A and B are shown apart, each in its own frame.
Chain A
Amino acid sequence: MLAMNYRGPFRVRAAHKPYPEILHPGDAIVRVTRSCICGSDLHLYHGLVPDTRVGMTFGHEFIGVVEEIGSSVQKLAVGDNVIVPFNVACGTCAFCKQGLFGNCHESNSQATAVGGIFGYSHTAGGYDGGQAEFVRVPYADVGPTIIPDWMDHDDAVLLTDVVPTGYQAAEMGGIKMGDTVVIFGAGPVGIMAAKCAWLFGAGRVIVIDHLEYRLDFVRNYAQCEAYNFKSMDDPVLFLKKTTDWFGADVCIDAVGGDASGSALQTITGKKLLLQAGSATALHWAINSVKKGGIVSIVGVYGPTDNLVPIGNVVNKGITIRANQASVKRLLPRLIDHIQAGRLNPKEIITHRVPLEEVADAYHIFSAKLDNCIKPILIPPSARK
């Protein structure tokens, strides 16, 4: 079968790999019909995530058709069209029982700080991902959700990560009616967080980024204010001023490891790999939120240390909420929103690329070429 194959930082190719096997009675094999490249895949692609091994297949955002099932799978049948959440979750451990599907304790032997994630390095369990024609899906009775007949599959594929992550970012912000919400990062997750902030009753939504095409997009798509931090002397000062010198009620960091904006953090994080990426967005979020406000973090940070102004967190009495999205918990509500027309995820898809051209797709997304917001990959078997 054809699959994306990681060869090193900034180098990937489409290559043939063995067809995946059922390795556990709860497994299913899914024939992929669409997969996305996620902003957090770029952290792997840029070589920022430890234990990303040559030969791995990335891709934690995918949908497909159930091709085979293991002996204990009961809720799926061959031929079902399924949304596969990016978390690999057992559904039975203490954390899954609490709804923390992103923190499953039975899916990642290689780290305890993060649960299993498809195609996201060995630090997240060493699973091959869905940027392929077929993929092994463990715990098939827990994560995969049947795609409703009425749902456009372009909407469905975005329910695997980007929509739930944006929604959970807003949810963790504890937004109250009329709150001012600032979102750092106008990538797909930041865009979705802006859109979802309104559902929680935000009174004002502000997005900060440095790429004009993304700011234009989010302004139109999420009907919010959007500003370029490159045109500001100091984004924190700007945000204080525009919030009556109080600070925002809620700040959302939707950037994480690849954040731009600070030379020191870029050198120590992205270049020297001595801290987990560039924490610039988090720094700005902590300093821009009001006293007693809430900072919600969904931006991906690697596992090593970083230069976080933790003293300001203490002094300001800030609540910080952060997590990987627990996709399964959020899916029913998000499916309702799509059916009611409140969310229209597929509108963020800007590029549809054959899987064979995966290297070009990664480069376009990484280098922000051709006004790319969200690329999806279509395997050859899904184009017949």
Chain B
Amino acid sequence: MESTPNEYAHINGWGVDADPTNEPTHPIKNYTGDDHQRLNWERPPLQAVTVEVLKSNERPNLTAVFGTSSPPSGLSGIIRRYAFKSSESEYGHWLPLLLADRINVVEGIVDDLRQGHIPNIFAEKGWKADWKYNREGLVKNLLVGVVVTTAVIALLSRKKKKSIR
């Protein structure tokens, strides 16, 4: 059965963008052929390189602009540089980046401490909101954490005692 506007009178704007010729092919419909010119479009002025910017090996040059947030540094930076030797289609690119991200978290804590800042992990994890909206869940998680930590410590100290004998 065909839909009629009356059926949808309660929906403001029903069908206003309906176009019987609409195909889900935009922007293919607007294909200009410009990409056959490859990199020959008029490039904007190039941003000066003031920090280390890693570049995908799937393109010949840096883009005209780029972000300068958190340049690679430390051990995580070494791993990131290594990752960029592989193309975006390789696990050799993405998995080292994920590893670098995790190492970078530890570097962040060391950096904080070096600057005399003790990170407030509870605040950074938003536990104040948990205390307000999810008190039961927070208490449960804390209890589970305490029980698991105690069990691990007990197990480790038991093994130690055995090995002393």
Contacts and interface: CB of A to CB of B under 8 A. Distances in A.
A51 B97 contact: yes
7 contacts: A50-B101, A57-B69, A94-B37, A109-B56, A109-B59, A172-B24, A319-B24
A77 interface: no
Main SS at interface, chain A: loop
A98 B3 contact: no
A122 B65 contact: no
Given A53-B101, A90-B64, A173 B27 contact: no
Nearest to B31: A98
Contacts of A24: 44-45, 47, 64-65
Interface string B94-116: 10011011101101110100000
Nearest to B134: A369
Contacts of B107: 54
Given A93-B41, A177-B3, 15 more contacts: A24-B65, A98-B30, A109-B53, A109-B62, A122-B67, A126-B68, A172-B26, A198-B8, A199-B13, A200-B15, A342-B12, A361-B126, A367-B134, A369-B129, A370-B133
Interface string B14-53: 1111101011111100111011010001111101101001
A293 to B, nearest CB: 11
Interface of B: 2-3, 8, 10-18, 20, 22-27, 30-32, 34-35, 37, 41-45, 47-48, 50, 53-56, 58-59, 62-70, 72, 76, 80, 84, 88, 91, 94, 97-98, 100-102, 104-105, 107-109, 111, 119-121, 123-130, 132-134
A373 B22 CA distance: 31
Contacts, number: 248
Contacts of A53: 69-70, 72, 76, 101, 104
A109 B134 contact: no
Sorted nearest first, the 7 A-B pairs with minimum C-beta distance are A363-B126, A126-B67, A342-B13, A174-B24, A201-B18, A8-B105, A127-B67
Interface in A199-222: 199-201, 203
Contacts of A199: 13-18
B108 A364 contact: no
